[in-house]
């Protein structure tokens, strides 16, 4: 019997809501694998008061649950009033995750550190755009003595895997961050077909590696049942066996084609882009205006219609292959 996954669910059931908020699509990088919708500058940032009003609607939709706001772009840190917006959100008691390419000056990152507004810093290092991994190391270490969880994902395109692996080694050697060479989903070609078996093995090994300064890194104060960044999955297979693995490792080891599977990605995840709020990161299903008084999360399962699941957050939503398990 060929062994294949038929059910995925998060090891620690989430006791929070998560909203990924794409503030704009202005970016100072031009990565080849990133869609134009994320970097062409066609959606500029709004004024601070508008963002505050939108946040209030999102906060209300969350009800009594703990709430994570994950800020992304574009490159979100180019929004001039980002720290002011995060301070407003923090005043409501939410957790904040920031996804950034880390390119702002160390002075900016020290201001962010001193503002005490980042619970998780997700830095994406792009060797295609820059060789300056030392700056990424310095940014991550700005938060070494803070309870900010730090993670670094290194991306790559064709022919740049070895360069990405070298950057990962340097970042691992000199920080306390968790580091991973990313699973890459590239529309133009199958990047996995370009790897040698040895490279594929290296890629799998470079999944969520603890930085060597981890033991002296100040730990997060976020309660364990509120930590969405612990992306461990229980994977049930068709032979009834169950294995525990990180979402990143699953993406590197198995196909992520869940078309026609049942997925509960909207039970605790929403994504905001412009004035629209969608289910999960992928947006399968209905979209709602952010001003809708009935804005809410959904408890129902939806049938996936996408060719692949490219987001680790969506991947950790409970899902099952219909007619195989329930």
Mean pLDDT of the chain: 93
**Residue 249: predicted pLDDT:** 87
For residue 301, what are its two tokens?
């399962």
Name the nearest CA neighbour of 176 among 206, 203, 143: 143
Multiple choice CATH, 17-225, 3.30.360.10, 3.20.20.70, 3.40.50.2000, 2.60.40.290? 3.20.20.70
Q: What is the pLDDT of residues 176-227, one digit of tens each?
A: 999 999 888 888 888 989 999 999 999 999 999 999 999 999 999 999 889 8
For 27-30, which contacts have Cβ atoms below 8 Å and span 24 or more sequence positions? 27/73, 27/74, 27/75, 27/78, 27/101, 28/75, 28/78, 28/101, 28/103, 29/75, 29/101, 29/103, 29/126, 29/129, 30/129
- pLDDT, tens digit, 9 for 90 and up, residues 119-161: 999 999 999 999 999 999 999 999 999 999 999 999 999 999 9
Q: Where are the domains of the chain?
A: 17-225, 232-320
For the stretch 14-39, pLDDT in tens is 899 999 999 999 999 999 888 888 88
Q: Is the pLDDT of residue 263 over 90?
A: yes
Determine the average pLDDT of the residues in 149-175: 96
∠ Cα 13 284 266 (to 5°): 25
Task: Please give the pLDDT value at position 7.
Answer: 96
The answer, as to whether pTM is greater than 0.85, is yes
Q: What is the mean pLDDT of residues 239-254?
A: 91
Determine the pLDDT at residue 283: 86
pLDDT at 325 over 70: no
Res 143: pLDDT: 98
């Amino acid at each position: 019997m060929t062994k294949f996954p038929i059910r995925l669910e998060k090891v620690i059931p989430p006791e929070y809501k998560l909203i990924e908020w794409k503030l704009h699509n202005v970016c100072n990088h031009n990565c080849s694998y990133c869609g134009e919708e994320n970097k062409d500058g066609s959606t500029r940032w709004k004024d601070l008061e508008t963002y505050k009003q939108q946040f209030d609607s999102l906060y209300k939709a969350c009800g009594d649950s703990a709430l994570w706001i994950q800020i992304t772009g574009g490159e979100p840190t180019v929004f001039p009033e980002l720290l002011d917006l995060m301070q407003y959100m923090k005043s409501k008691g939410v957790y904040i995750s920031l996804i950034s390419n880390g390119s702002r000056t160390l002075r900016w990152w020290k201001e962010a550190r001193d503002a005490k507004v980042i619970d998780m810093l997700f830095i994406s290092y792009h060797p295609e755009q820059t060789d300056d991994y030392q700056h990424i190391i310095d940014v991550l270490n700005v938060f070494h003595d803070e309870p900010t969880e730090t993670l670094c994902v290194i991306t790559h395109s064709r022919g740049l895997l070895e360069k990405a692996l070298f950057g990962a080694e340097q970042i691992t050697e000199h920080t306390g961050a968790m580091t991973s060479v990313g699973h890459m989903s590239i529309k133009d070609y199958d990047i996995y077909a370009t790897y040698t078996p040895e490279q594929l093995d290296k890629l799998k090994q470079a999944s969520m590696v603890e930085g060597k300064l981890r033991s002296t890194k100040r730990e997060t104060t976020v309660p364990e049942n509120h930590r969405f960044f612990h992306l461990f999955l229980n994977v049930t297979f068709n032979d009834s066996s169950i294995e525990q693995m990180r979402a990143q490792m699953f993406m590197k080891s198995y196909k992520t084609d869940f078309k026609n599977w049942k997925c509960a990605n909207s039970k605790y995840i929403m994504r905001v882009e412009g004035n629209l709020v969608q289910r999960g990161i992928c947006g399968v299903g209905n979209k709602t205006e952010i001003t809708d008084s009935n804005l809410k999360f959904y408890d129902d399962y939806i049938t996936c219609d996408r060719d692949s699941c490219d987001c680790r957050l969506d991947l950790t939503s409970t899902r099952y292959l219909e007619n195989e398990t329930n």
